[in-house]
């Protein structure tokens, strides 16, 4: 039987149904990539959502009503969700008054791909910032290159490269703003994953562009 293993840190936490995997750092929750794909290699959104629910419980984040149903998950077409992916719950995206808030969920060592936001018609270009609630996130954007050796960009993301390399190591209570609207940015979760609240003026999905051309094709249907 396949299973997901959660060890340490949360006393008495039971094993969750899932898949086998190597044990991560003491107290970490880790997932084998095969857990998120069927035999034909199709991404399984249900499995991805269950992994994020496990992450929420691990950190004591409340699993609110309809959380599973309203979670947005993606592997960006990379086929490596354990390494590159995202879970997001949008709480509000008010285009009329131009304010937005969402929560970001990243599994341990999972990368939110490098991207930027173009200016949509009739709305401002997205300006945003991130407050880490649980775990740790390497928030990366424009600036002097200072990536630490513990960040290894997955090969499925532009052959293991990015265009921006200035990181801020953000822990619970740290707020990191985007340096400037329209600039590229990405995130990389620490060994216990990350739960992050994002605030912004407004979000327009069609204005998102990714540095990796394959990911643009995945979302723009090219």
* pLDDT tens-digit series, residues 80-126: 999 999 999 999 999 999 999 999 999 999 999 999 999 999 999 99
Average pLDDT (169-195) is: 97
Tell me phi and psi for residue 56, to 5 degrees: -60, -45
Query: Tokens 């991130």 sit at which residue?
Result: 130
Average pLDDT (53-60) is: 96
* pLDDT given for residue 220 in this prediction: 82
Mean of the per-residue pLDDT values of the chain = 89
**pLDDT over 60 at 4, yes or no:** no
* pLDDT given for residue 168 in this prediction: 98
* pLDDT given for residue 221 in this prediction: 75
pLDDT digits (tens, 9 = 90+) for 145-160: 999 998 999 999 999 9
* pLDDT given for residue 222 in this prediction: 57
**pLDDT over 90 at 201, yes or no:** yes
Residue-range domains of the chain with CATH: 43-220 (2.60.120.10)
Alpha carbon 203 to chain centroid, angstroms: 16
* pLDDT given for residue 37 in this prediction: 98
Q: Number of H helices and number of E strands within the chain?
A: 3, 11
Short-list 113, 127, 145, 137, CA closest to 183? 127
* pLDDT given for residue 30 in this prediction: 85
* pLDDT given for residue 188 in this prediction: 98
Pairing of strands 185-200, 111-117: antiparallel
* pLDDT given for residue 5 in this prediction: 38
């Amino acid at each position: 039987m396949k299973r997901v293993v959660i060890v340490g840190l949360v006393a008495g936490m039971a094993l969750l149904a899932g898949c086998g995997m190597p044990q991560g750092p003491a107290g970490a929750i880790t997932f084998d990539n095969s857990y998120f794909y069927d035999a034909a290699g199709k991404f399984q959104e249900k499995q991805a959502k269950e992994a994020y629910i496990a992450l929420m419980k691990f950190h004591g984040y409340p699993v609110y009503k309809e959380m599973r149903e309203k979670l947005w998950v993606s592997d960006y077409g990379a086929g490596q969700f354990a390494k590159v992916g995202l879970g997001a719950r949008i709480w509000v995206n008010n285009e009329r008054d131009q304010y937005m808030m969402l929560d970001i969920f990243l599994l341990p060592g999972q990368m939110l791909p490098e991207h930027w936001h173009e200016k949509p018609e009739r709305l401002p270009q997205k300006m945003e910032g991130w407050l880490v609630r649980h775990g740790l996130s390497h928030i990366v954007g424009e600036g002097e290159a200072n990536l630490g050796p513990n960040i290894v960009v997955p090969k499925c993301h532009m052959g293991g490269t990015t265009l921006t390399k200035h990181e801020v190591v953000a822990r619970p209570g740290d707020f990191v703003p985007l340096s400037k609207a329209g600039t590229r940015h990405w995130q990389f979760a620490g060994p216990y994953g990350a739960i992050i609240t994002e605030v912004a003026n407004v979000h327009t999905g069609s204005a998102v562009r990714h540095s990796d051309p394959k990911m643009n094709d995945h979302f723009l249907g090219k």
